[in-house]
């Protein structure tokens, strides 16, 4: 199953370098209707595309994804990433999903976002991180607000989900407003 490479250590979880040998697991997560509901995955993601596009043969500076590894159970459970990175303005979007849904509600999403913010602000010296959250994704909104993200914008009818138009909220957090 390839080697497990810890990049950032946490409490319940570590953030690992993503692993092409886990492509089948990633494939299962992103195509799961419960997981992908608010991830804008409307078209099936094939295993071949995951292996090719998620693992290009160059260093992808625009997108940095980590695998979320459950320390006690010793299994991969999700992904957290910085996407659409802009090194001139030092900002990026954050993306997260816990693919193994039985691990929801245990504080893991919160820990993964906090570890990623530590990396973005303290290692990469970014200025600002933003996130687009569907207005109906109440669980996710609550988590980002609890962490310190502040709502900046509300855009109407941005995503068509389960037969209805839904709104998108944009939230952000600045390095200067974050402790630690």
Interface residue list for ligand COA (CB under 6 A)? 35, 38-39, 96-98, 104-110, 131, 133, 137, 139-140, 142-143
Q: DSSP string of 86-109?
A: ETTTTEEEEEEEESSGGGTTSSHH
| Nearest to ligand COA of 40, 174 (CB atom) | 40
Chain centroid to Cα 30, Å, comes to 12
Q: Using CA of residue 44, residue 46, residue 47, residue 50, what is the dihedral sign? A: negative
**Residues 99, 169: Cα–Cα separation, whole Å:** 23
Closest distance of CB 120 from ligand COA, Å: 16
Residue 8 CB, nearest approach to ligand COA (Å): 17
- Beta sheet of 64-70, edge-to-edge order: 6-9, 13-17, 64-70, 75-86, 91-98, 128-134, 164-174, 150-161
Between 38 and 125, CB nearer to ligand COA? 38
Residue nearest ligand COA by beta-carbon distance: 109
* Shortest Å distance, C-beta 72 to ligand COA: 13
Which residue lies nearer to ligand COA by CB, 52 or 142? 142
State both tokens at 40.
């804008």
Q: Is the CB of 58 or the CB of 140 nearer to ligand COA?
A: 140
CB of 62 to ligand COA, least distance (A): 19
């Amino acid at each position: 199953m390839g080697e497990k490479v810890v990049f950032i250590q946490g409490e319940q979880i570590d953030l690992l370098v993503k692993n092409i040998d886990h492509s089948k697991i990633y494939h299962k997560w992103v195509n799961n209707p419960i997981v992908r509901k608010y991830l804008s995955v409307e078209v099936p993601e094939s295993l071949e595309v995951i292996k090719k596009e998620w693992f290009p043969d160059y260093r992808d500076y625009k997108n940095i994804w980590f695998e979320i590894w459950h320390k006690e159970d010793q299994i991969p459970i999700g992904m957290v990433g910085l996407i659409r990175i802009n090194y001139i303005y030092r900002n990026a979007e954050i993306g997260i999903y816990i693919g193994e849904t039985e691990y929801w509600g245990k504080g893991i999403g919160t820990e993964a976002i906090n570890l990623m913010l530590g990396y973005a602000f303290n290692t990469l010296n970014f200025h600002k991180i933003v996130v687009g959250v569907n207005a109906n994704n109440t669980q996710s909104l609550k988590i980002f607000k609890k962490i310190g993200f502040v709502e900046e914008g509300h855009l109407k009818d941005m995503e068509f989900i389960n037969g209805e138009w839904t709104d998108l909220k944009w939230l952000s957090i600045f390095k200067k407003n974050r402790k630690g």
